[in-house]
Amino acid sequence: MSNNIHQPGVVKVDDHSSTSATFTVEPLHSGYGMTLGNSLRRVLLSSIAGAAVTSFKIDGVTHEFTTVPGVKEDVIDIMLNLKGVRFRVYGDDVQTLRIVKKGKGTVTAKDIQLNADVEVVNPDHVIATIDDAKGSLTVDLTVEIGRGYRTIEEETARKGSDMIALDAIFSPVLRCRYKVENTRVGQATDLDKLLITVDTDGTITPRDAFEEAAAILVNQYTALAGQTRVATPVAAAAPAAASSGDGFDTDMIGEEPTALNTPIEDLNLSARTTNALINNDIHSIKDLFALSDVELRELKGFGSKALDEVKDKMAELEL
C-alpha cells in the first residue's frame, strides 16, 4: 500500500436543481472526509462573496420605528423584506438603486430601477403593499458586495444620518451539509468518500460556490505552507459530472482518476490472469481500458474465462 496521501477529485456532480447540487469527492485519505467536509462547509457558509442591501432611505421617513402613509407595512417590515431581495452585482463598486411606485398595488423587487451592473434574481419578492390609490413609495437603496455577515452597528458607523442601516447577510449559500462514506482503490479499503450538498440563493451556482470555497482554502493553506511541498500520487482530479449524474461531461475532463493508475497486481485476480496481463505489457487499469474485448481475447495466454474474470472485477470496483 502506498504511503502517499491520496489526492482526491470531484468524481460526480448531481444537479438537483439550478440552485442545489451534491458533489462526490474521492478517494480521500482515511479521516480526510470529515476534515475536508467540515472545512469546506464552514467556508461555504461564511466566506463566499455576495451582494445585499446595506442601507436604505424612504421619502418622508427619518427612522425605522414609524409607518409610511398609504403603505400597509411599517418600516420594520419593509426592512425585513429588503433583506430578502437577492442581487447579482457585476463589479465591486457600491450600487445606488431606487424604487418609485405610485398608486395602489404591490411593490416587488422587479420595481427596483436597475443599472447595467446589477441584476435581481428574485423579481417577484414582495417589498411592500400600497393600499391607497393616491399613495406612493420612493425608496433609495445601497447595495454592496461583501462576505459573511455585517451587523447593523457596523453599518450605522459607515453611513450618513439620512440612511437607515441594515444588518446584511452577504452569503449566497443558504445551506450546506455533508456525509462521509467508505470507498476503496485497489487493495486500499480504508479510504473516504465525501458527499457534500450545496444550496444557493440563485445568485451563484452551487458549482461556482464549491470551487470558490476550495480556492479560498487553497490560498489560506498555501500561505502557511511556505516553500514546503508534499509529494502526491499522479492524479486525481476527476472530470466534472454531467447534470444527470449518470456520466461525465467530456468537455470538462481534467486529470485521470487515481483508480486508473491502480497496478494490475492490486486487483486480486487469479495468478494466471495476472501473469497473462503483465506478460502482454498491461500493468494498470488504464492499460486495460485501452483495449477492446476482442483485443483482450487475442492476447497471448488470455482467453474468455480470463476476460470474464476481469469484467467481474471491474464491476466489483464500479469502474
Residue 120 and residue 58 share a domain: yes
Residue 59 and residue 38 share a domain: no
Residue with the bigger pLDDT between 317 and 98: it is 98
Residue 29 and residue 67 share a domain: no
Residue 306: give its domain's CATH number: 1.10.150.20
Residue 109 and residue 27 share a domain: no
Q: What are phi and psi of 189, to 5 degrees?
A: -110, 0
Tell me what the mean pLDDT of segment 45-74 comes to.
Answer: 91
Give the pLDDT score at 250.
35
Q: Within a domain: residue 297?
A: yes
Residue 33 and residue 76 share a domain: no
Q: Give the number of domains in the chain.
A: 3
pLDDT tens-digit series, residues 149-196: 988 887 666 655 678 889 999 999 999 999 999 887 777 778 889 999
Residue 311's pLDDT band (cuts 50, 70, 90): confident
Residue 68: give its domain's CATH number: 2.170.120.12
Q: Within a domain: residue 121?
A: yes
Domain C-terminal end among 107, 129, 146:
146
For the entire predicted model, the pTM comes to 0.68
Query: In what side-by-side order are the strands of the sheet with 173-185?
Result: 9-17, 20-28, 188-200, 173-185
Residue 214: give its domain's CATH number: 3.30.1360.10
Q: Within a domain: residue 245?
A: no
- Quote the domain boundaries for residue 22: 9-48+173-239
pLDDT tens-digit series, residues 227-264: 777 766 554 444 444 444 433 343 333 444 556 677 77
Q: Within a domain: residue 164?
A: no
Q: Within a domain: residue 106?
A: yes
Q: Within a domain: residue 249?
A: no
Residue 30: C-alpha distances to residues 37, 38, 41, 183, 185 (Å):
13, 15, 19, 10, 12
Residue 56 and residue 24 share a domain: no
Residue 187 and residue 42 share a domain: yes
Q: Within a domain: residue 247?
A: no
pLDDT tens-digit series, residues 84-93: 999 999 888 9
> Residue 225: how many CB atoms within 10 A of its CB?
10
Contacts of 50 (CB under 8 A, 6+ apart): 145, 146, 147, 170, 171, 172, 201, 203, 204
How far is Cα 111 from Cα 99, in angstroms, rounded to an integer? 6
Tell me what the mean pLDDT of segment 61-71 comes to.
Answer: 88
Q: Within a domain: residue 182?
A: yes
Give the pLDDT score at 157.
65
pLDDT tens-digit series, residues 96-147: 999 999 999 999 999 999 999 999 999 999 999 999 888 899 999 999 999 9
DSSP strand pairing (149-150 vs 168-169): antiparallel
